[in-house]
Structure 1
Amino acid sequence: MNCVGFRKWLAQPLLLFCVAFVAIPSVTHSQDKPSFELSEDVREALTPLFSRILKADVSRATVDLSVETVMGGEVVETAESVYEIASKYPDQYTIYYKSADDRKRLYSDGEKGVVALTPEAFFRLSEVASSQELATRSELNLGPYPEAVLALTLAGVDPAVTFLGGMKSVEVAGKMKYRGSIDSIHLRGQQKDGVTWDLWISDDSKPRPLRLLVDLTPMLIATGQVAVPQGYAYSLRYDFKSWRVIGEVDEKLFQYTPPPGAVEYESLEDFQQQSSEELAEHPLLGESIPDFELTLLDGSIIRKDDLKGKVFVLDFWATWCGPCLQAMPVLAETTKAFADKGVQFYAVNVGESSALVKGFVSEQDWDVAVASDPKGDLIELFSAKSIPLTLLIAPSGVVEAVHQGYPGAEALKQQFTDELEVLVQGGRIASSVPTDAKPEK
């Protein structure tokens, strides 16, 4: 498993675009029922909006999503994306999810479904999901929490399934002037897992959603997969820039026409497999590494010349990358076993602020040297287009092995150990030797 498609110019966390600490679940499940009695003021606030959506035949919406990472009360990272959605009840829709590193569009004309993964790659769905199914549990990665925005934007769905099932409480937090001019009602809900949401709805005869704020911090803490630093918070903010459930919607929006040169894949798995195979051919394998400079969290600098004549490992990772966090303890333990033979290990964080990395690492039991690369300067230099990415470099400065993704603890430990055994003895790893230099069998 790996996280693909990193860009040098993206100096923000990609929790939206890849695997995070854990898979973020839907806010609710359709089989769950509220374990509390809705108060009359909550019913009065939600029913008009939910009824408009449920009775709608068409919809159009544009929603901005901001993912904010907070450390000690200060926003240290922000990643932005946008949803453009059009639908016609019961199962015609186009859902365009656009972020800095991911542009994905889902089409359904009611009979056929297509997912355009990139402008040049698509696959056809064997079955078309109804709008309600998408708003209850989306099988396609359309952001960190697509059900919330889909439940409020797809025509004919019942938002209560998503927003009231599995809840611990929902209350009216008050009335206010949204952005100083729009009369609004503010509602707050708490899930059974501790996750909270705040929803602002216009307070008029034709209510519409204005903003949805979801705080996922309690869920991250509850998983226990990683130690969440004190003062850390992770939230999603949806701002509804445009929203309507009346008028006409051109049905051409629900139809997909492949552009010239587009490649059709059998499935998402087929696309990922072929993409992984392409990524496996890392351009630095068998080549000398470029000049580089690592800035460690303690402020010290490590340069290429400082490691001349030594076996060392560079591991590119991020706090949002689940496979990275799974691989780190394995890599740390394995390289430590070769420390007496001079092997050195550096965990290079990509694209996140030093403040966030320091706080996060301070809570982990890794005992590794961590370098911070907040501007992403090393991403292009080492072709880190997919993480986790681990490079094993020989004393000669040649990249002898490349690991992309996380194959599992045992497989990674065995392969990593075997490769380090070869390198500390001055040998070469077969995969890094040019074909024309290999002896004939």
Structure 2
Amino acid sequence: MRLIEDGSRGFDREIEAIARRGSETPPDVEAAVRGILDDVRRDGDAAVARFARRFDGCIRSPGQWRVTGREIDRARRRVDAGILDALRTAAARIAAFHERQREKSWFVTDEDGALLGQAVQPLDAVGLYVPGGTASYPSSVLMNAIPARVAGVKRVVLCTPAGAGGVSPVILAAAEVAGIDEIYGIGGAQAVAAMAYGTRSVRRVEKIVGPGNLYVATAKRLVFGAVDIDMVAGPSEVLIIADESADPRIVAADLLAQAEHDPLAWPLAVSPSSDLLNGVRREAARQAATLPRKSIAAESLSRRGTLIRARSLERAVEISNRIAPEHLELAVADPFRLLPSVRNAGAVFLGHDTPEAVGDYVAGPNHVLPTGGTARFASPLSVADFVRRSSVVAFTRKALVRLGPVAVRLARAEGLEAHARSVDLRLSHSRSGRTPKAAGPAGTKRRTTR
């Protein structure tokens, strides 16, 4: 891990480079993904099957992609009872937290009797991507599906790679706990395309969420517009602000919890204490060598692991705000003193008893967080991501007479005469005492729903 000193020559340049860490997609990857999307849009299931065989070794026919209830039952029996209990405990806490995020439709009536409001409705169908490969992530199933369920989404679809052995049993168990409606054993950019455009076997959705590799992330970015997406996530990140009260072993362990995700993960620690940072460096190297994923963790530490000696804890928070990390730990004696100064972070973990890993699994708040510095303007996945909001306007004659002339003046100031006339015509009816023909049958009453 490299060490950089606050105030040293080139320090600002080093921090700015970390702050601008958002990665660009290599042209060859984007070209390959565009080809996959175009083929699936044109050829549907046939293209998905072709790419599934090539990339995932999946030899199932389109009619066999959807996981059956019998397969889910078999998978549940293969999962350890303790893991099932852990999934249910986590699901209950995630649901309880996200229930507090529910939005309701609202309506108000102004002094002229005009009704104004916002109608909040759940999306009809959402697709969740869950990666396979080097690790299975049942926690991602819970974190993405449960907010959709709380929002009231009618149809939640999951796509995940199925190799020769089928879909991971623990993924299927998590999907059952989360109440997912349809599960398909297909992965990669081809699965994103199937959910975005629809095929004979996979009906299209309105939004796609969930993590994935560079090809999946690129596919999500490219289908945006045909569907909505949650975000284009980059490598995992943690920034730990620590003082002398922190244990170097624990700080190192928390850095490695992110480093083991990906060779491109960002494990960062900031402290005024040189002794602490030196201890963290030694502990990180020692502990990394004992991990099952030690080669991944070691490469992350070598490539992107950074220790920053700040002049003070207040300065450490300033540096963190510039970097805008996905996860921020305040491993200090009095974390609540620093919290009001934190501006940019996906999630904040306070004190020595709050490892970021509890946020990944069981705390309750969502672990789908903005990466790559996007915490400057983006937020964690929430129930709000699974609803749409429509503005509602119903003017009375009195409101139109008072505010219509304002609209006419503004329309003509913008050179939009048809806009002005659409209002003026109604005003002329009001001045003449005539009533425009009603849009509905006589006696129809204004109705609002919640």
Structure ID, larger Rg: 2
Report the TM-score range of the alignment, normalised by the length of the smaller protein: under 0.3
TM-score (norm 2): 0.24
TM-score (norm 1): 0.24
- The answer to which structure has the higher strand fraction is 1
